[in-house]
Amino acid sequence: MVMKFLSDNAARVHPRVWEAMRAADTPDSPYDGDALSNLLDERFSALFGRDCAALWVATGTAANCLALSAMVEPHGAVICHREAHIEMDEGGAPGFYLHGAKLLLAGGEGAKITPEAVARIVDSIRDGVHQVQPHAISITQASEYGCVYRPEELAGLANFARGRGLGLHMDGARFANAAAFLGGDPALAAGLGGNAAGAAGGVDALSFGMVKNGGMSAEAIVFFDPAMADKVRFRRKRAGHLQSKGRYLAAQILAMLEGDLWLDNARAANAAAGEIAAAAGDRLLHPVEANEIFLTTTAVERLALRELGFEFYDWGEEAARLVTAWDSREDQVSALAKAIAAL
Amino acid sequence: MVMKFLSDNAARVHPRVWEAMRAADTPDSPYDGDALSNLLDERFSALFGRDCAALWVATGTAANCLALSAMVEPHGAVICHREAHIEMDEGGAPGFYLHGAKLLLAGGEGAKITPEAVARIVDSIRDGVHQVQPHAISITQASEYGCVYRPEELAGLANFARGRGLGLHMDGARFANAAAFLGGDPALAAGLGGNAAGAAGGVDALSFGMVKNGGMSAEAIVFFDPAMADKVRFRRKRAGHLQSKGRYLAAQILAMLEGDLWLDNARAANAAAGEIAAAAGDRLLHPVEANEIFLTTTAVERLALRELGFEFYDWGEEAARLVTAWDSREDQVSALAKAIAAL
Amino acid sequence: MVMKFLSDNAARVHPRVWEAMRAADTPDSPYDGDALSNLLDERFSALFGRDCAALWVATGTAANCLALSAMVEPHGAVICHREAHIEMDEGGAPGFYLHGAKLLLAGGEGAKITPEAVARIVDSIRDGVHQVQPHAISITQASEYGCVYRPEELAGLANFARGRGLGLHMDGARFANAAAFLGGDPALAAGLGGNAAGAAGGVDALSFGMVKNGGMSAEAIVFFDPAMADKVRFRRKRAGHLQSKGRYLAAQILAMLEGDLWLDNARAANAAAGEIAAAAGDRLLHPVEANEIFLTTTAVERLALRELGFEFYDWGEEAARLVTAWDSREDQVSALAKAIAAL
Amino acid sequence: MVMKFLSDNAARVHPRVWEAMRAADTPDSPYDGDALSNLLDERFSALFGRDCAALWVATGTAANCLALSAMVEPHGAVICHREAHIEMDEGGAPGFYLHGAKLLLAGGEGAKITPEAVARIVDSIRDGVHQVQPHAISITQASEYGCVYRPEELAGLANFARGRGLGLHMDGARFANAAAFLGGDPALAAGLGGNAAGAAGGVDALSFGMVKNGGMSAEAIVFFDPAMADKVRFRRKRAGHLQSKGRYLAAQILAMLEGDLWLDNARAANAAAGEIAAAAGDRLLHPVEANEIFLTTTAVERLALRELGFEFYDWGEEAARLVTAWDSREDQVSALAKAIAAL
């Protein structure tokens, strides 16, 4: 039997998302003029406890790059981790959407960056026109290694960004997993100081991922400065991302928010990852805070796991990456945990 | 009662498309590595009777611009009708995808262009580097005014394009309606000389529309020169259009092709348009060959129609645009035809 | 003997420009850090009677496009005359520098546009994201047909631009000729209300041409909003237009300003054009207000002129374009006037 | 007395270059239609012993980026040294000219790269569309640390590039200095196997620097595949780099080639650098093979040199960069050598 731990990308669509899409199957205004699309601003504003503007797009790559396009001019740069998705996995999309702006790469444990690491880059750039100047910072929550930025880390980055006049973007492909890890408050997970705290601090724009977490084809870009959204509406259309039957995307997002399905799904995926992590002991390359497990393993060990039916990616020569999803089956998770413990 | 003739864009998703999407709801490889996406080349090759490579994308705008990106360099231009969707309705997407290449605008009855009209533009451009040189022609089948290019017209354009070293792209947002009008042979509708005729002539790339015709969120870009597809695969990813759960897009397209659902749907829409057109007499601004009706009307007449519950767009001050869809209800179509006849 | 009236582009370099360049031939800081480059802001501020920031570049195309890049976002558009140099003669440079922004083309006598013509375009654009929205207007002073905008025409355009939130750029490839025609006040010629009038009205940025008027390889971009210059400094470098021995460009510009050489040269060219125009009678296609003459002529007449040694461009099938320059020789100008009168 | 060793960028223009420019001061066809510009292909073909096409531009940044634009598509990447000028000093121009293509950075002694270093990058890139694929390699001759690629090193890189289907570009801002070091044969310095060897191997395009070596404002882009030049002619115009009085640029380049002035000037600069290097002993950070000297020094030592009147750049905290030029004065060079020896 095949048991897939390759990617949450490949998971199924949640039944409640299906239901919401079917419920939207009646003629309505095209593009984002329909009743469902018009609910997004309000729903995200309620979720984050402050005024937001939210746009749907089909992919995380589009979400990240469109969000950054509101902060970065073509002659500017984005500072991100050298393992960031925008650098490693988006086929050069930032170069396309930002018209040739540069990515400047910082290091950092667990694929997280710190104000100090960012400062080293900023301070190494000569003033003036001969070197590209940074316009924004992009961080990933949870990070590409499944690590979660704590609220105080986010506050530090937000303060640094404000102090240097830089925008702050969050790639939240697994934002739900991070929020679940932090107790379930999305404002905290976005560095916004908790729902009680008003608009201070935090990120300027968030790519709020849905597809890895039970959605089909809809991600949300959430702008905490609504003026940014007005510009990005034009950029979304110009990028061919304004779908004519947008109501089916809005329906997915609303279903994910309804009754905190997004949190429930993320908790399920995190719990599955936690069970596997507990079995892995000191094989773990990074603390397991979301739904990804990076495991030191030999090629022989990986072969053994695969012979048992488990599918996953090699991570270099000496490790494996395993990803759980909202629909990971308990029996398969337990079987995997046992198999790892038995290596 | 509201009876919508605003746009086929707003129509529902066909039940067989829904079924196919649900059938795809099992984990598979992400992006376009899944079993369904891998069927597209073969299915379109069978449909057109020659080797094709086909890619899914979510919107017609992305399909058009990605197709053109295989033919047009940033320092080149595309010749199209001045009413073409790429000029009038895509928010500048060609400028984005083609990195600043220009659109050069031709006139022509029924939003169709002729080799003569294209030649006038090409010949008016001074040789050399001071004026942007054309690299491709883009035509719309059926046109923005619901008119259909005949096979011999397409052959003329294809010959002209070959002779001048230009690529030829077809925006087929309503390609199905055109093919239905021409008797159901898609190769003929793409200028490819009929299924029997081999690879001669015809367009280089086709944006084969599905969304207006019963799909939800998947269009196909069909390349009759498969090498073009290899380049566009990179451009699609770079544009954020490579969805991670691509199998749901492939499923839509395959369902549309299965049993010629695409043709059946288009025939239904065309028949509905034909019924309305028959009632409209000499009010018609353009021959009704697909599913759009442009109708000379006074403001008072349009108000009268709206008071009966019909929704549609004004087309300037003295006309209305009415669009039927695969799911236009017969009773509503008959009611509209009667109301128009009674004006 | 060959007598060239092809283009002021081909004229010689003025001796005082040569002298200034030679005087700059001593080591100084590279790029624009030298003593001469540092004088530009002050000299242009004095010339226009208000705070300016000025940058040198090598070509009018670069000047126009860089100036516009401070006003137009990639998803926006520039409104200009359909005969404007940026549309007809710059090889698509606006598409490159503006990252795919569009040019929207207005008509107008003498290649001049009016607020009414611009308004028709702006008002024809549908609100929302489906059509590219205008961000700026670009006008040419003197126009491509050698016609000069009067101060009140400029005030009308500036008011319109302000009212609609649009930037206003002036392509001044022949700005000197226009200023000479208007009596010599550059602020008037830029719509700035005369030196006495303070900062009200006028253009936001001016491409102040020098090359056609006795310079070799230096044009000035003058920003009446100095903040625009700060952004364009980055764009200039990024476009490869920040020359390392910039002092030789600054020297040219300063020499042109010194003692109003720019005005003297333009007056000479205008006077030569005036003499030819006086001989041309009702053959003139446009009033001759600068240094270009458009002349209705038959092919036989043009041949006759050429056989006498005069070089010039055909302008379509039924006209000729003749251009004088600062160094047009009086004997050749008189000969040409006589030859035209004798046709 | 101030003695400048800051940059060859700031040097004077050679008298024979001045003479040639003055000799060009007669009306001729604009842009590159003049008699001098038309000589470039032939002169460079003679110099390199094979068919070349050559274009003038005003800056090395434009030369590099335009050359690369013939080899790299927007969705591709260029591999270069992490200290390369295109990465460190061109204000993001490659991102602009290449429409968002990426630079991939290799390490290597003396700012030189090896096939092995390039292979490590190429081999680390996952196949497929998720990571940007390399299209070209760019190397600098002499390198940013004044080191010269030997013919056999160039052959290795050229073979590697051919084998992997990559273009090979050479930034020759100090190409003359490299050629002088290698004995004076430009074909050898471009990896072309010597004048005797025909077209085999070598770079596809060379930015042949003139400005640092006695020119004023003209660099040559030399294409060893002339078809590349045809495309770049359009790109040059589109970038605003086609100067209307191009004959003054062509004149500079021709003067530099005439009688091997380019080599004589480079030899003078190299000799000056050699004298300083000989005095520097084991302070040298890199072998001095061209006209740059990188010298380990303390802050106190640098202060001491500056107090003697020498101007130069700090290179980090513990070194200085000194650059000689064609016009470095012998007395000042000797004085500097003595001062360094005496530290």
What tens digit of pLDDT does each residue of A109-131 get? Answer: 999 999 999 999 999 999 899 99
**Residue of C97, C129, C235, C241 to mutate when probing chain A, most A C-beta within 10 A:** C129
Across chain D, mean pLDDT equals 95
Determine, for residues A95 and D88 on separate chains, whether the beta-carbon distance falls below 8 Å: no
C217 in Cβ contact with C5 (< 8 Å): no
Share of chain D above pLDDT 90, in %: 93
> Is the dihedral angle over the CA atoms B299, B301, B307, B311 positive or is it negative?
negative
- Give percent above pLDDT 90 in chain A: 93
Preferred mutation among C64, C131, C135, C317 to probe B, highest tally of B CBs within 10 A:
C131
Cβ neighbourhood burial of D220 (10 Å; 0-12, 13-18, 19+): buried
Architecture of domain D15-260: 3-Layer(aba) Sandwich (3.40)
Mean pLDDT of chain A: 95
Task: Tell me what percent of chain C is helix, strand and coil, each rounded to the nearest 5.
Answer: 45, 15, 40
Average pLDDT over residues D140-150: 98
Average pLDDT rounded to a whole number, residues B80-106: 98
Domain boundaries, chain A: 3-10+262-341, 15-259
For D156-215, the pLDDT digits (tens) are: 999 999 999 999 999 999 999 999 999 999 999 999 975 444 445 799 999 999 999 999
CATH number of the domain at A3-10+262-341, please?
3.90.1150.10
Quote the minimal CA–CA distance from B171 to chain A in Å: 14
Tokens 């700090």 belong to residue: D314
**Tokens 């316009």 map to which residue?**
A135
pLDDT at residue D123 in the model: 96
**Position A27 pLDDT exceeds 90:** no
Tell me which chain D residues have a C-beta less than 8 angstroms from the C-beta of C12.
25-27
H/E stretch holding D223: strand D219-223
CA dihedral for C62, C64, C70, C73, sign (positive or negative)? negative
What's the pLDDT tens digit per position in A211-268?
999 999 999 999 999 899 999 999 999 999 999 999 999 999 999 999 999 999 999 9
The pLDDT of residue D198: 42
Give the residue carrying structure tokens 């404000």.
A162
What CA–CA distance (Å, rounded) separates D217 from B182? 62
C106 strand-pairing partners: C81
Does residue B219 surpass a pLDDT of 90? yes
pLDDT value at position C27?
84
Q: How many residue contacts between A and B have a Cβ separation below 8 Å? A: 148
Mutual angle of helices B299-307 and B330-341, in 10-degree steps: 140
Interval C236-274: pLDDT, tens: 999 999 999 999 999 999 999 999 999 999 999 999 999
* Segment C119-132, tens digit of pLDDT: 999 999 998 999 99
Across the interface, whether the CB atoms of A59 and B4 are under 8 A apart is answered: no
Structure confidence at residue B200 (pLDDT): 55
- Cross-chain residue pair D130–A90, CB shorter than 8 Å: yes
- Taking every pair of Cα atoms in chain A, the longest distance, rounded to a whole number of angstroms, is 60
Residue C132 per-residue DSSP state: P
Per residue in D281-327, pLDDT (tens digit) is 999 999 999 999 999 999 999 999 999 999 999 999 999 999 999 99
Provide the 3-class DSSP secondary structure of residue A54: strand
Confidence of residue C2 (pLDDT cuts 50, 70, 90): confident
Residues 6+ away with beta carbon under 8 Å from D327: D11, D12, D14, D214, D268
Written as six digits, the tokens of A269 are 């995926």
pLDDT tens per residue, range D224-282: 998 999 999 999 999 999 999 999 999 999 999 999 999 999 999 999 999 999 999 99
The distance from CA B320 to its chain's CA centroid, rounded to whole angstroms, is 21
* pLDDT-derived band at B184, boundaries 50, 70, 90: very high
CA-CA distances (angstroms) from residue D101 to C235, C260, D267? Answer: 17, 46, 37
Categorize the per-residue pLDDT at B198 as very low, low, confident or very high, splitting at 50, 70 and 90.
very low
> Across chain C, what does the average pLDDT equal?
95
Asked whether the predicted pLDDT for residue B223 surpasses 90, the reply is yes
C196 pLDDT above the threshold of 70:
no
Is the per-residue pLDDT at C315 higher than 50? Answer: yes
Check residue C90 and give its pLDDT. Answer: 98
Please name every residue paired with A171 in a beta bridge, in sequence order, or none if there are none: A140, A207
Q: For residue C256, which phi and psi values (nearest 5 degrees)? A: -70, -35
pLDDT of residue A197: 43
For residue D92, list chain A residues with Cβ-Cβ distance below 8 A: 75, 77, 100-102, 132
CATH number of the structural domain B15-259: 3.40.640.10
Selected from 2.60.120.10, 3.30.750.24, 3.40.640.10, 3.30.1310.10, the CATH number assigned to the domain covering C15-261 reads 3.40.640.10
- ∠ CA D68-D72-D77, rounded to 5°: 105
What is the band of C197 on the pLDDT scale with cuts at 50, 70, 90?
A: very low
A166-203, pLDDT tens digit by residue?
999 999 999 999 999 999 999 999 999 754 444 457 99
Compute CA distances A30 → A243, B7, B291, D277, whole Å: 8, 8, 17, 72
Quickly count: other Cβ atoms within 10 Å of residue C126's Cβ.
10
Does the beta-carbon distance from C236 to A129 stay under 8 Å?
yes
For C305-326, what is the mean pLDDT? 96
Q: Which pLDDT score, from 0 to 100, does residue D200 have?
A: 55
The percentage of residues in chain D with a pLDDT greater than 70, rounded to a whole number, is 98
CB nearest C100 (choices: B89, B95, B132): B95
Q: Which residues of D touch A (CB under 8 A)?
A: 74-75, 77, 88-92, 94-96, 98-102, 129-132
User: Concatenated DSSP letters for B312-342?
Assistant: -EE-SSSEEEEE--TT--HHHHHHHHHHHHT
Which member of D75, D91, D131 has the closest CB to residue A129? D91
